Amino acid sequence: MQLTTKFLGLTLAHPFMSGASPLTADLDMVKRLEDGGAAAIVLPSIFEEQLTMARSAHIHHMDPSDSEFASLLSGFHLDPQPLHDPDEYLAHIGRCKRAVSIPVIASLNGMTGESWLKFAFNTEQAGADAVELNIDELAIGTHESSPALEARIRDAVVELKRGLTIPLAVKLTPFFTAFANMAHQLNIAKADGLVLFHRFSHPDFDLNEMKLVPRQTLSENSELLLRLHWVAVLRPKVTLSLAITGGIAAPTDGVKAVLVGADAIQMTSGILRNGPKYFAVMSAGLSEWAETNNYKSIDALRGRMSLEHTADPALYERANYIRTLQASPHQPNDD
C-alpha cells in the first residue's frame, strides 16, 4: 500500500503528522516524534502579542496550554521551555531543521500587525518548510459583524502570501455563519491549505474562589464527526490541501479522515496518550485497512466518501438531522 501523500505541496511518507503542542517545543522530543513515525511536525504557536510585547519586555498573552499541559507531559520526562521569545522561536526552527529530515512547520497565532506579518517571513528565513496561521479569535463584540471578521482573516492571508514563498495553511475554528464560503474566500486568497479545527480550551468556574480557571482536556473521537463532515463537504469545492486535527484516536479514525478527503491528519492527544510510536500504529492501521479493501494507493482511497462521491449527499445536509431523530432508538423511561 502506497501511503505517500502531499500536504501544502510537501511530500509526506503518510498522512499522520504531529500537531502544534508543547511536545514540539522540546528538541529531543521532536527527534523522538520522527523516530516514532511522524511524517511532519508543527511547532507550538507563537502569539502575535508575544511579538509586539517583546519590545517592551511585557508579554500579556501567554500560551495557556503550557502550564495546563504540565501533568500530561510528565510521563514523557520533559520540561520543554516555552518559546515565548521571538529570537528563541526562530532558533528552535533552525535546530529542528538540522535535527530531523521531516518537514518542520511554524505556527503563528494572530492576524493583525506589521511586526507579526514580518515575523512570518522570518520563520521562512529560519528554515521553516511552511507556516500554519492559527486563528482562534472569537467575535464577542456586539458591534463586530461576521463579514468584518472574515474580511480580516482573508486580508491577513493575502498579506502573508504577498511575501512568503513557503506554503501557508490556515487553522480555523468551526464558528462561522457560512463556513464553506469562508473556505472559498481563503482558496481565492491563495492559501495553500486548511486545518480543521482549532480546539478551544474553555475555562471552568471555581465556585469556591469565584473565579475562572483554565481546563485542558485531550480530544476524543466523538469530536471527529464535525471535522469529517466539513472535509467531506469541502473536498470537491476547494483546491487547497485539507487537514484534520482533533478527535483522531484510533487507526479507523485515520481511515475515515482519508475517505472524506483529508490530505493530512494532525495528532496531539493520541500521542500524549500512547507515545510517539503511535504514529507507526496509525499508519500501519491505515495501510492494513486499505489493503484489505483492495486499495493500491492512498490517492485511490482519498475522498471516496466525500460529498462528491457519496450515494446520498443529503446525509451531509439538513436531512440528516431529521433522519437521525426518526431513527433514534432512545425512548423515555416511564419509571
Query: pTM of the entire structure?
Result: 0.86
Question: If DSSP codes are grouped into helix, strand and coil, which group holds residue 9?
Answer: coil
Task: List, run by run, the mean pLDDT of 10-residue segments along the chain (335 residues).
Answer: 95 97 93 98 85 49 50 59 80 97 93 74 96 81 83 91 95 92 96 91 79 75 92 96 96 97 97 96 97 94 89 64 60 57
pLDDT digit string, tens, across residues 224-246: 999 999 999 999 999 999 999 99
What letters, b where the CB count within 10 A reaches 16 and e where it falls short, cover 311-324? eeeeebeeeeeeee
Q: Which residues pair with 132 in a beta bridge?
A: 107, 169
Domain 5-309 is classified in which CATH homologous superfamily? Aldolase class I (3.20.20.70)
Can you state the angle between helices 179-188 and 146-163, rounded to 10 degrees?
A: 30
Residue type, 185: Q
Task: Tell me what pLDDT residue 128 has.
Answer: 98
Task: Tell me what pLDDT residue 322 has.
Answer: 58
Task: Tell me what pLDDT residue 198 has.
Answer: 85
Please list, in sequence order, all residues whose beta carbon lies within 8 angstroms of the beta carbon of residue 221, skipping any fewer than 6 positions away. Answer: 247, 248, 249, 250, 253
pLDDT digit string, tens, across residues 47-63: 876 776 544 433 334 45
User: Judging by DSSP bridges, how do beta strands 193-196 and 204-206 pair with one another?
Assistant: unpaired
Q: Which residue's entry shows cell 466525500?
A: 306
Q: Which residue's entry shows cell 496509525?
A: 282
Q: Which residues pair with 47 in a beta bridge?
A: 109
- Decide: 142 and 149 in contact? Cβ < 8 Å: no
Q: Give the sign of the dihedral formed by CA 251, CA 253, CA 257, CA 259.
A: positive
